[in-house]
């Protein structure tokens, strides 16, 4: 266990989604997994983590222990239910007040660094970090300008208020954490982020949960899937940004090219409506019916991590046709389970998926391209098996331990730089 000389306690902020929420539904997704796993590993390094999130139910305890050394604090800010993410900017003042109250009860010097996730949290963190005299470390997770540059058909653009808010956070943060070098370049290109204040830290995978385990046959038996089925899996939030409709169109093309495949084809869609997908939660089911593939598509609700690992193991391939991904945690998890991935060549996915080695990267979002990749895997099981073995080896390089160690180093750099700036200001005005 490593103990930091400069970092004892971190205030981690996640305004709009709680680390206790089930990923794959509502606004909960990869960021929730990121916060939970990073916090656990930081605690294993001897760092106490307190996570502030908005209370969404009166039944929630004010404080909940997530793991040894990790505390979740529920902050009252606005009505418990019925608020969309787009309405939360109006609640940032009461949320900030709740965070400040917790700090006042603990006393000055309680926190050594503020680490914020997503732009809403960044605005709260900006204020409290200045008040506490500690550095602000911010992780975007997604960026409005990147999302707006690659919108799915019919999807809603991110508002100008978010773009402006992200600009302000980029200027205010002592350090920015980017998931990949491409994300760091996007920060510089779209927001003029200082490369010297931007650190690339890859997210990790819980390799104890996501691993090949007892194999595909056993996982399929547990899930009630035929042992000889061809199973292209979609896992994640159901919203246009993630492109699940592209998979369904690809399945239609796959069956048109090889009608005999229908007898052994099962397409699980594991996840719940999210974001702009909440406006038409039945959209994907209606599309499956309209395409004439409702008999092979199986919609399943989000599941906890151990259950999700079984879906990965049971799948012949994970399909991830996203329009934007800051990293692609689902792809990393599937590969850790020994499952190859067919994914869009966007965002961090080219880092996670090695084209031709652990899966296939598709340039663009033409369903025919996805159908051709799936046809190759359906026709050549030995190819899928080889890709899956390479995927499991590749994913072993994405453990959360390395992510936490690198993040802690970023905290220490931020503290040192903040102290240097503070001393400089004191000497100038003293």
Distance CA 85, CA 275 (A): 8
Asked whether the beta carbons of 323 and 151 are under 8 A apart, the reply is yes
Asked whether the beta carbons of 180 and 326 are under 8 A apart, the reply is yes
Q: Is the dihedral of CA 217, 220, 221, 226 positive or negative?
A: negative
Question: Does 240 appear as a known binding residue?
Answer: no
Q: Is 348 left (phi over 0), alpha (psi -120 to 50) or beta?
A: alpha
Nearest to 332 by CA among 323, 341, 324: 341
- CA neighbours closer than 13 Å in the CB half-sphere of residue 43: 19
Nearest to 37 by CA among 77, 45, 410: 45
Q: Which residues pair with 51 in a beta bridge?
A: 12, 72
Question: Does 303 appear as a known binding residue?
Answer: yes
User: In Å, what is the CA distance from 328 to each residue of 119, 164, 202, 360, 407?
Assistant: 19, 26, 10, 14, 19
Question: Does 368 appear as a known binding residue?
Answer: no
Question: Does 339 appear as a known binding residue?
Answer: yes
Distance CA 55, CA 77 (A): 7
Question: Does 94 appear as a known binding residue?
Answer: no
Question: Does 419 appear as a known binding residue?
Answer: no
Question: Does 27 appear as a known binding residue?
Answer: yes
Question: Does 422 appear as a known binding residue?
Answer: no
SS3 (DSSP) at 318: strand
C-alpha 350, offset from chain centre: 16
Residue 130 backbone dihedrals phi, psi, to 5 degrees: -65, -40
Q: Is the dihedral of CA 203, 272, 242, 296 positive or negative?
A: positive
Question: Does 148 appear as a known binding residue?
Answer: no
Question: Does 312 appear as a known binding residue?
Answer: yes
Residue 367 CB neighbour total at 10 angstroms? 20
User: In Å, what is the CA distance from 309 to each residue of 51, 258, 305, 334, 353?
Assistant: 26, 30, 6, 7, 18
Question: Does 80 appear as a known binding residue?
Answer: no
Q: Which residues pair with 50 in a beta bridge?
A: 11, 71
Question: Does 118 appear as a known binding residue?
Answer: yes
Question: Does 333 appear as a known binding residue?
Answer: yes
Question: Does 237 appear as a known binding residue?
Answer: yes
Asked whether the beta carbons of 365 and 243 are under 8 A apart, the reply is yes
Nearest to 174 by CA among 421, 405, 427, 409: 421
Question: Does 310 appear as a known binding residue?
Answer: no
Dihedral angle over CA of 18, 20, 23, 25, nearest 10: -70
Question: Does 16 appear as a known binding residue?
Answer: yes
Question: Does 286 appear as a known binding residue?
Answer: no
Question: Does 30 appear as a known binding residue?
Answer: yes
Annotated binding site for Mg(2+): 312-313, 315, 339
Annotated binding site: 16, 22-23, 27-32, 85, 118, 142, 162, 237, 242, 303, 312-313, 315, 325, 333, 339
Annotated binding site for 1D-myo-inositol 3-phosphate: 16, 27-32, 85, 118, 142, 162
Annotated binding site for UDP-N-acetyl-alpha-D-glucosamine: 22-23, 30, 237, 242, 303, 325, 333
């Amino acid at each position: 266990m490593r103990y930091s000389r400069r970092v004892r306690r971190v205030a981690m902020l996640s305004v709009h989604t709680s680390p206790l929420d089930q990923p794959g539904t509502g606004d909960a997704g990869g960021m929730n997994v990121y916060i939970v796993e990073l916090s656990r590993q930081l605690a294993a390094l001897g760092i106490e983590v307190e996570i502030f999130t908005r209370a969404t139910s009166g039944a929630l305890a004010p404080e909940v222990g997530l793991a040894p050394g990790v505390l979740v604090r529920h902050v009252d800010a606005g009505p418990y239910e019925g608020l969309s993410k787009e309405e939360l900017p109006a609640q940032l003042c009461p949320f900030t007040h709740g965070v400040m109250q917790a700090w006042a009860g603990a006393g000055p010097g309680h926190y050594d660094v503020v680490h914020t996730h997503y732009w809403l949290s960044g605005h709260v963190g900006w204020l409290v970090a200045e008040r506490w005299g500690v550095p602000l470390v911010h992780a975007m997770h997604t960026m409005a300008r990147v999302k707006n540059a690659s919108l799915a058909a019919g999807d809603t653009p991110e508002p100008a208020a978010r773009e402006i808010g992200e600009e302000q956070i980029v200027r205010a943060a002592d350090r920015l954490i980017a998931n990949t070098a491409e994300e760091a370049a996007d920060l510089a290109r779209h927001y003029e982020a200082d490369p010297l204040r931007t650190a690339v830290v890859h997210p990790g995978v819980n390799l104890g949960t996501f691993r090949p385990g007892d194999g595909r046959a056993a996982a399929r038996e547990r899930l009630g899937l035929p042992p000889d089925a061809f199973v292209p899996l979609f896992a994640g939030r159901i919203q246009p940004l993630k492109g699940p409709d592209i998979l369904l169109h690809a399945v239609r093309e796959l069956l048109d090219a090889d009608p005999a495949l229908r007898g052994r084809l099962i397409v699980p869609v594991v996840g719940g409506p999210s974001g702009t997908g909440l406006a038409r939660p039945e959209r994907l089911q209606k599309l499956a019916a309209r395409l004439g593939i409702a008999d092979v598509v199986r919609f399943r609700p989000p599941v906890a991590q151990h259950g999700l690992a079984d879906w990965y193991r049971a799948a012949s391939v994970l399909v991830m046709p996203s329009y934007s991904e800051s990293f692609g945690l689902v792809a990393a998890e599937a590969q850790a389970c020994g499952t190859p991935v067919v994914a869009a060549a966007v965002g961090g996915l080219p880092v996670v998926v090695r084209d031709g080695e652990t899966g296939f990267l598709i340039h663009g979002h033409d369903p025919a391209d996805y159908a051709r990749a799936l046809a190759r895997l359906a026709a050549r099981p030995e190819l899928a098996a080889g890709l899956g073995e390479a995927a499991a080896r590749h994913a072993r390089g994405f453990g959360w331990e390395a992510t936490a160690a690198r993040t802690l180093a970023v905290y220490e750099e931020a503290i040192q730089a903040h102290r240097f700036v503070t001393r400089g200001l004191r000497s100038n005005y003293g």
